[in-house]
Amino acid sequence: MPAEGVKKLSHSQILSYDELLRFVRIAYCLGIKKVRITGGEPLVRKGIFSFIKDLSKNKELEIVLTTNAILLDSHLDTLAEAGIKRLNISLDSLRHDRYEKITKFPVLHTVLENIDNALAKGFSPIKINMVVIKGINDDEVLNFVKFAFKKAINIRFIEYMPVNRDENFVHISSLEIKQRIENELGKLIKVDLNNMNTVAEIFKLESTSGSNFNTIGFISPRRDNFCSSCNRLRLTAHGFLKPCLLSYSMINIGELLRINATDEEISETIIKAVRSKPPKNMLNECNSATSLDGNMSFIGG
């Protein structure tokens, strides 16, 4: 989080829950069966639980929440009642000083307690997403694996995606992360995902290959350039459909929702966004970090 914070959008600038529900209904008819609620931090938005309950009325939808877990404890029962079972938790350090430096909030103890509380409430699977940054938290990789194994949860290591041209020096490849794990904890065995479209490579430690938990994943946008297998679309809070996170390309679907465009017109726009997904990202092009301006705390996970 930048020290100065991020500029907040007014209520008039963001999509209403009714507009979001309509978009999901139309997208579902086109074959989209998974909805991930992310942010920013989604739990700070007023009315979020009623929205999740409305989403979960479609029993065919898989609904996943990505959260920093700070506000989880007081809402776990409500989330469960609203249809959430899967949690993705963004956590980039297990050290209190580092956590505060990265997030600007001295609340790591709360996050760790809330992970335990979510496990006790039966949320499963729980996945920890860690962005690995050279010289900042890369010395914690093994501690994160041990933490995940102790809690019987999954861990995903994400290569740092620099959003400014001068940030390349903090990048560390997933190959190096994987090698560190194997050097200390043993061989990693790749998990067959039955050709599911995914942006992550999933492994288990050979010593725990029989367990249903404890998968270790690597998301490697600079090395893998997994765009050809990425099936994600991102709808921003202010109504833009992004076919690729690491691209300027955006389609203003919020405008269509607000002029009462027909379902067919909105369907055509969603299909247009899918067809415009790029064959590769720009992270390795022209010595440029990426074609994005801004920062990930605003764009979301």
pLDDT in the model for residue 298: 59
Q: Is 88 in contact with 66 (CB distance < 8 Å)?
A: yes
Backbone dihedral angles phi then psi of residue 218, each to the nearest 5 degrees:
-130, 125
Q: Kindly report the CATH class assigned to 11-299.
A: alpha beta
Whole-angstrom distance, CA of residue 112 vs CA of residue 57:
31
- The burial class, CB within 10 Å (0-12 / 13-18 / 19+), for 79 is buried
Residue whose token pair is 């297990």: 94
Domain boundaries, the chain: 11-299
**Average pLDDT for consecutive 10-residue bins of the chain (301 residues)?**
74 93 97 91 92 94 94 92 92 96 93 97 94 94 95 93 63 92 94 69 82 81 66 90 79 93 97 84 51 54 53
Q: Check: pTM over 0.85? Answer yes or no.
A: yes
pLDDT in the model for residue 276: 86
pLDDT in the model for residue 228: 66
pLDDT in the model for residue 116: 97
Query: What one-character-per-residue DSSP string does 100-143 give?
Result: HHHHS---HHHHHHHHHHHHHTT---EEEEEEE-TTTTGGGHHH
Q: Is 90 in contact with 68 (CB distance < 8 Å)?
A: yes
Whole-angstrom distance, CA of residue 20 vs CA of residue 28:
12
Q: Is 66 in contact with 90 (CB distance < 8 Å)?
A: yes
As given in the structure block, the two tokens for residue 163 are 């959003």
